[in-house]
């Protein structure tokens, strides 16, 4: 059992940190299927304690390190609570919601690129106020939440599609996929957004 608290292990090279709230687990989000670092807070796991299916997914993901659960520092909790109060969302948000938003702030402060996956309008609303990105599973489906980049963990090249044998044609390392920011439908041809620009680096 990995009880490593804190954000010490930075094995991802994309900086993406996907934060999962209670609704994301209930909707069936499977952290083990997505090549990214996932985070949640112990309060979310507590809310899901009686949801057996979520429990199985959570335990598997925690075991493999694909999911980490820890509580944010109180500084960020206060900031999240203040934003919730400004928006009149204080009574609507659960304790777990506030903790998750605070964890998002903490990860962002630490230089990560957090995306909150939540179908809860109030969570999205406060995330927006805090300048945190969020996305919903219910309206878009799990696969469509992110665009996917195929990349080589060896030489860090990025490919537009999976290569024939699933290996990097340059160095032979097995290719992996990672989520990238969903680009808006308009202007997706030709113009490369900021995400595309740093993908090649
Ligand atoms: Zn390579």
Of the CA atoms within 13 Å of residue 5, those in its CB half-sphere come to 7
Measured distance between the N- and C-terminal CA atoms of the chain, rounded to whole angstroms: 35
Q: Is residue 68 part of a domain?
A: yes
Do 131 and 154 lie in one domain? The reply is: no
Q: Is residue 53 part of a domain?
A: yes
Distance 16 CA to ligand 1 centre (A): 20
Q: Domain total for the chain?
A: 2
Distance 176 CA to ligand 1 centre (A): 11
Most confident region among 61-65, 84-88, 101-105, 135-139 by mean pLDDT: 101-105
pLDDT greater than 60 at residue 133: yes
Distance 141 CA to ligand 1 centre (A): 31
Q: Is residue 10 part of a domain?
A: no
Distance 91 CA to ligand 1 centre (A): 50
Q: What is the pLDDT of residues 57-81, one digit of tens each?
A: 899 899 999 999 999 999 999 999 9
Task: Tell me if the pTM is above 0.85.
Answer: no
Asked if residues 158 and 150 have their Cβ atoms less than 8 Å apart, the reply is: yes
Q: What is the CATH number of the domain that holds 154?
A: 2.20.28
Q: Is residue 188 part of a domain?
A: no
Q: What is the pLDDT of residues 145-157, one digit of tens each?
A: 556 678 888 888 8
Do 43 and 86 lie in one domain? The reply is: yes
Task: Kindly state the tokens that stand for 16.
Answer: 């993406």
Q: What is the CATH number of the domain that holds 123?
A: 3.40.50.1010
Do 75 and 157 lie in one domain? The reply is: no
Distance 153 CA to ligand 1 centre (A): 7
Do 24 and 99 lie in one domain? The reply is: yes
């Amino acid at each position: 059992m990995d009880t490593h608290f804190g954000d010490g292990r930075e094995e991802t090279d994309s900086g993406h940190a996907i934060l999962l709230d209670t609704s994301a687990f209930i909707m069936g989000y499977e952290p083990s299927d997505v090549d990214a670092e996932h985070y949640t807070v112990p309060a979310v796991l507590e809310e899901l304690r009686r949801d057996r299916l979520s429990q199985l997914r959570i335990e598997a993901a925690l075991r493999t390190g694909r999911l980490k659960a820890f509580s944010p520092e109180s500084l960020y909790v206060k900031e999240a609570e203040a934003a919730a109060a400004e928006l009149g969302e204080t009574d609507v948000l659960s304790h777990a919601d506030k903790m998750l938003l605070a964890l998002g702030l903490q990860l962002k402060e630490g230089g990560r690129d957090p995306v909150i996956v939540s179908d809860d309008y109030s969570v999205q609303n406060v995330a927006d106020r805090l300048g945190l990105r969020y996305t919903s599973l219910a309206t878009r489906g799990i696969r469509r939440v992110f665009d996917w980049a195929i990349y080589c963990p060896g030489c860090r090249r990025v490919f537009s599609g999976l290569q024939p044998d699933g290996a990097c044609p340059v160095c032979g390392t097995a290719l992996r996929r990672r989520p990238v920011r969903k680009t808006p439908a308009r202007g997706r041809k030709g113009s490369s957004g900021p995400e595309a620009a740093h993908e090649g680096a």
